[in-house]
Amino acid sequence: MKKLLLLILFVNTYFGFTQQSYYDDVDLTKSGIALRDELATKIIATHTNFISYTPGVWEASRKTDVNPNNPNEVILIYGYSASGTTARTRGINENGGGAGEWNREHVYPRSLGDPTLDTRRLGDAGTDAHSLRPSDVDFNRLRSNKRFADGSGNAGDVPGGWYPGDEWKGDVARMMMYMYLHYGIQCLPTVVGVGSASPTPDDMIDLFLKWNAEDPVSVIEDNRNTYHGDTSNTYAQGNRNPFIDNPNLATQIWDGPIAEDRWATASVKEERTLNAKVFPNPSISGNVSIYSNEVGINEIKVYSILGKEIYSKNNPVFQNQTFTVRNLNSGIYLLKIKNNNKYTTKKVIVN
């Protein structure tokens, strides 16, 4: 369980608007490699501000990793060591390379990249702030470039590699997923983690899918995503980590354990076989019609892209195989149509 970095139980208006507008050109009803490729295209295209390793990442970390309980501190990834000798926080300006200071941990180690992650070249994986976190200098050195391996309790060495700690394993998994999405074979999950890729349709390993499901998104993760997604921030990259916005996207792409669905979209375990068409899409009037020759459609629901249910109709009456949902406000929606254990989900845009 996360001790300090509690799961956000609500999404404020600004945060919600930012997420919704960010994914407006992504077809979130896709799954597997098709969804992976759409999200990869999105995060690469929106990575428009290539911040420097120095001072860029230092300054970004002071904004993104602030202790929610003390604005004069940053939170350190991995927290305490097994012996409890390292602090969980540092003064926000106590950065550097000496004992008692914090530095920039490459959560995906530079030396494990192929080619090696470069901190001198803008836009390289070595300067991507989504995989750089404040860390105690000595603890960073202790971790070195060890691969992530399963364990329990506090962070530290385990057989086969390095366990990031119960509080941080979900953060790590989502960062490694992002790095693979963005940089492909340069940052393979099979190189940085100890696990099997055989259960997945891609190079993702089961360990990261397990951690993503077991450890919910933290306040720090959301804060980091919100900062970097807003290009009005001086040291923001412009892109987001989709697996922080919704861990269930990893399940949609790579299967594995069912992760938290922060958008309340349909489970990927259900059977997607119901045939239906939605028109007009985009809609200008706010009315959207569903055409289907299926018999016995018993539920229609409309969700905002962040998962808030805004319309529901049980046992809708179709006339000439058509049913119309009316008076939707401008926005992006997920429309779910069910017939017993069959369903389909359509992305709908209302201008």
Taking residues 311-324, what's their average pLDDT? 94
- Tokens (6 digits) for 74: 């940053």
pLDDT-based confidence at 19, cuts 50/70/90? low
Stated as kind and residue range, the H or E segment containing 140 is: helix 137-143
Residue 17 pLDDT class (50, 70, 90 cuts) = very low
- 70: three-class secondary structure by DSSP: strand
In this model, does residue 171 exceed pLDDT 70? yes
CATH of 277-350, one of 1.20.140.10, 3.40.50.720, 3.40.50.150, 2.60.40.10: 2.60.40.10
Q: 289 pLDDT exceeds 80?
A: yes
Helix (H, G, I), strand (E, B) or coil at 290: strand
pLDDT of residue 295: 84
Distance from C-alpha of 241 to C-alpha of 19, rounded to nearest angstrom: 11
| Most confidently predicted of 196-200, 266-270, 307-311 | 196-200
The full DSSP string for 21-50 is HHTTTS-TT--HHHHHHHHHHHHHHT----
Higher-scoring residue by pLDDT: 278, 349: 278
pLDDT of residue 127: 98
Lookup: tokens for 116: 């090696």
pLDDT band at 264 (very low <50, low <70, confident <90, very high): low
**What is the arithmetic mean of pLDDT over 130-146?**
95
* pLDDT tier at 348, thresholds 50, 70, 90: confident
pLDDT bucket at 342, cuts 50 / 70 / 90: confident
pLDDT greater than 90 at residue 303 = no
User: Can you say whether the dihedral through the CA atoms of 210, 213, 215, 219 is positive or negative?
Assistant: positive
User: Of the candidates 276, 296, 251, which has an alpha carbon nearest to the alpha carbon of residue 336?
Assistant: 276
pTM higher than the cut 0.75: yes
Q: What pLDDT, in 10s, does the model give residues 51-109?
A: 999 999 999 999 999 998 899 999 999 987 556 667 789 999 999 999 889 999 999 99
B/e letters for 160-180, b = 16+ CB within 10 Å, e = fewer, are ebbbbbbbbbbbbbbbbbbbb
> Does residue 119 surpass a pLDDT of 90?
yes
pLDDT over 80 (residue 333) = yes
Contact 220, 210 (CB under 8 A): no
Any residues with CB less than 8 A from the CB of 53 and at least 6 apart, and which?
Answer: 104, 119, 120, 126, 127
Mean pLDDT of all residues belonging to the chain: 88
Residue 247 has pLDDT above 80, yes or no: yes
**Residue range 169-181: mean pLDDT, rounded:** 98
pLDDT of residue 270 exceeding 60? no
Q: Report the range of poorest mean pLDDT among 3-17, 226-240, 310-324.
A: 3-17
C-alpha distance from residue 115 to each of 112, 118, 243 (Å): 8, 8, 25
At 267, the pLDDT band (50, 70, 90 cuts) reads: very low
Mean pLDDT, rounded, for 323-337: 90
pLDDT tens for 182-198 read 999 999 999 999 999 98
> How far apart are alpha carbons 315 and 317 in whole angstroms?
6
Comparing C-alpha atoms, which of 60, 102, 106, 59 is closest to residue 79?
Answer: 102
Domain range annotation of the chain:
13-254, 277-350
Gyration radius of the chain's alpha carbons: 22
pLDDT at 201: 79
